[in-house]
Amino acid sequence: MGTLQLQNINLAYGGRDLLKEVSLTLSARARAALTGANGSGKSTLLRIISGEIPSDSGFITTSKGMRISYLPQSDIVHSGTSLFLEVEKGYFRFAPILARKQAIEHELSNMGISDSAHALIEELHQIQEMLLSTSYFRREAYIEQILKGLGFLRQDFNRNCEEFSGGWQMRIALAKVLVEEPDVLLLDEPTNYLDIEARIWLRNYIRQFKGMVVMVSHDQDFLDETVEEVYELFNGNLTRYSGNYSAYQKQRTQELEQIEKAFRIQQKEIERTQQFIERFRYKASKAKQVQSREKQLEKLEKVEIPPHLGTLSFSFPDPPHSGNDVIIVEGLTKNYGDLPIFQDLSLVVNKGDRLAVTGRNGAGKSTLLRLIAQVDRQFGGKLQLGAGVKIGYFAQDSEDTLYPANTVLEEVEAIADTSDIPRLRTLLGSFLFSNDDVDKRISILSGGEKSRLALAKILLHPANLLLLDEPTSHLDINAKAMLLEALKAYQGTVVFVSHDTHFIKNIANRILYLSEDPPELFEGDYSYFSWKLEQKEAFEPTQTEQERVPPQLKSDASSSNWKETNRLKNRYRNLQKEAEELLTKIDKKQETISAVIEEMALEHNYIDSNRITALITKKTRLEKEHTQMEEQWFALHEEIHDLEVTLGVPDSHT
């Protein structure tokens, strides 16, 4: 596979040194993440490595014949051909080889047996062997596998590219890059436009990919499960950290504590020096010492805290009291024209629930939140909010509701109560809008800054039901972590749409999965839901690719068997715990059903037609949920049994 090496790369923009003496070396099957603050030069460095833009100085050295493919963050539009034919362009790399093959075949057809013919036959054989070692002859199946993995349907293949929206255009670009099967894969925010299924599929693809991968991403779980080293760009310098992203965070936290300590010491020293200068500036006898101290300050290399590690710290206001049943959905139907979104959806969200809504793009996740928020009232069936429910709603387009001409401070002042005015600057500071930032116009804010401001506005009105539609989509990893901690401490109920597995894993206690199939409600934590998706989104290498696995990689795989065994043991313990908890919930659900049946038997209930109808409906819904939970428990039980067989655990169920 070879080596990719950067030596002393420098780049300046408008007098600012964006990259300073940047060097790195990547070898076969490297898995690296590139991190740093917005504007630190991450995307620029990827573009330099790809050859898209030159550096001011320095060298990039690659092994002979090394191919590099680059996926930018956004702004790619395809047109003029069908989806399938556009992605097939990833095989254009074979055009010179195929042209040579055709030329040899033509030449051989017009000549007799000779030494020249033998040489041409040998060359033709080598070309054929090379093509057989790739996916070229299986390209239709390979392209189909990649397109389906990224969420395209079979009926999409012949659609014109211009029919697809911006997010799907980026999926087309990603598909083309993967089809190219390069030696080096450069990915800039590859999960930005992917739903949870496509993210899991891409993660599995990257795990088996034989080349090097360098990526920029704000998806912490995705990085943790794919990379083995992290490179941080700060003040133009590149620093390497071994391990995945979580390992990098631990190392960086320790360093940050040292930096903050050094910063405090330096600030005290600067303050003392400035006091000396001010006190003795106009005394002739001290002029020499004053000048010396001034030069000291000028030469002082300031200790800086990396801005992307700045702490976003806030808490949601205490929520007002609400009833136990916060949201009641029974037989919900929703259509957009002839397109059905929901058919007979039933669901109850209880006080304190953390319900994640995830699944395929276009399956109705945002629609469900709009219906609950009462922004959209066009539906069939029943959707009722409980007593005392007060909603805080963060929509995907919340940043579009901000007034561009306002400053950050003016935007929150416009909706704040008089009593809130004194604390607005403190509130904005906790969202990283400090000092002069509060006077910035909304029109010049980044997507992440607008998202933070929209979230800050929710805090001004205490709510006991938070509806959050993709709240992390424009936030970096550090801002996501702070939002995560705030939601963990929040005492109200949360229903949120997300494809971010790290976010779902750390908050949700229930998951509603929406796809082309009937909705599925998963009780408990993320592990069982994750296992189900793993089975669905596995990437199966083609037979040719399996045969091409180098012997040393096979030995690497066997040497890592102990890691896999350890992972399976941990999963076995987690599944046992989850199955026990789910069994308890099943028993409680049965108790609730029995209580409803007893209610139905009371004379004052069964002689009241409205009351008995409501009780029958409730009983039907509870029985349906009970059945789903039982099916989920049986599936967990089956996986536990399979793991017992794999790990050689004595079967305690026989």
SS (H, E, C) 519-581: CEEEECCHHHHHHHHHHHCCCCCCHHHHHCCCHHHHHHHHHCHHHHHHHHHHHHHHHHHHHHH
Per-residue exposure over 427-443, b if at least 16 CB sit within 10 Å of its own CB, e if not: bbbbbbbeeebbebebe
Which tokens is 487 given?
A: 């939601």
Q: What is the mean pLDDT of residues 74-99?
A: 92
Which tokens is 230 given?
A: 């992290």
26: helix, strand or coil:
strand
Nearest-angstrom CA–CA distance, 406 and 281? 44
pLDDT exceeds cutoff 60 at 548:
no
Residues 293, 296, 297, 299, Cα dihedral to 10°: 160
**pTM score > 0.85 for this model?**
no
Tell me the percentage of the chain whose pLDDT exceeds 90. Answer: 38
Other residues' Cβ atoms within 10 Å of the Cβ of residue 523? 20
493: helix, strand or coil:
strand
HSE of 415 in the Cβ direction (CA atoms, 13 Å)? 16
pLDDT exceeds cutoff 50 at 618:
yes
pLDDT, residue 560, reads 47
pLDDT, residue 649, reads 65
User: In this predicted model, what pLDDT tens digit does every residue of 3-15 receive, in sequence order?
Assistant: 999 999 999 987 7
- From the number of C-beta atoms within 10 Å of its C-beta (0-12, 13-18, 19+), residue 190 rates as buried
Q: Where are the domains of the chain?
A: 1-78+180-310, 82-163, 325-390+463-524, 408-461, 543-647
Report whether 376 contacts 367 (CB < 8 A): yes
Between helix 561-600 and helix 551-559 the angle, nearest 10°, is: 60
User: In this predicted model, what pLDDT tens digit does every residue of 459-515 receive, in sequence order?
Assistant: 788 899 999 999 887 777 877 888 888 888 899 999 999 998 888 988 999 999 998
Nearest-angstrom CA–CA distance, 233 and 19? 8
Nearest alpha carbon to residue 221 among 488, 31, 499: 499
Confidence of residue 553 (pLDDT cuts 50, 70, 90): very low
pLDDT, residue 69, reads 96
Between 551 and 136, residue with greater pLDDT: 136
Sheet of 16-26, strand order: 16-26, 4-13, 57-62
Q: What is the mean pLDDT of residues 375-396?
A: 91
Confidence of residue 574 (pLDDT cuts 50, 70, 90): confident
pLDDT, residue 654, reads 38
pLDDT exceeds cutoff 90 at 390:
yes
- Within 8 A by CB and 6+ apart from 96, the residues are none
Between 561 and 432, residue with greater pLDDT: 432
Report whether 67 contacts 134 (CB < 8 A): no
pLDDT exceeds cutoff 50 at 557:
no
Nearest-angstrom CA–CA distance, 637 and 629? 12
57-71, 182-196, 532-546, 639-653: the lowest-pLDDT one: 532-546
Nearest alpha carbon to residue 140 among 87, 208, 217, 187: 87
pLDDT, residue 247, reads 92
Tell me the CATH number of domain 325-390+463-524, given options 3.40.50.720, 3.30.200.20, 3.40.50.300, 3.30.390.30: 3.40.50.300
Quick one: fold of 1-78+180-310? Rossmann fold (3.40.50)
User: In this predicted model, what pLDDT tens digit does every residue of 511-521 receive, in sequence order?
Assistant: 999 988 888 88
User: In this predicted model, what pLDDT tens digit does every residue of 277-295 receive, in sequence order?
Assistant: 887 777 777 777 878 878 8
Confidence of residue 22 (pLDDT cuts 50, 70, 90): very high
Question: Do 1-78+180-310 and 325-390+463-524 show the same overall fold?
Answer: yes
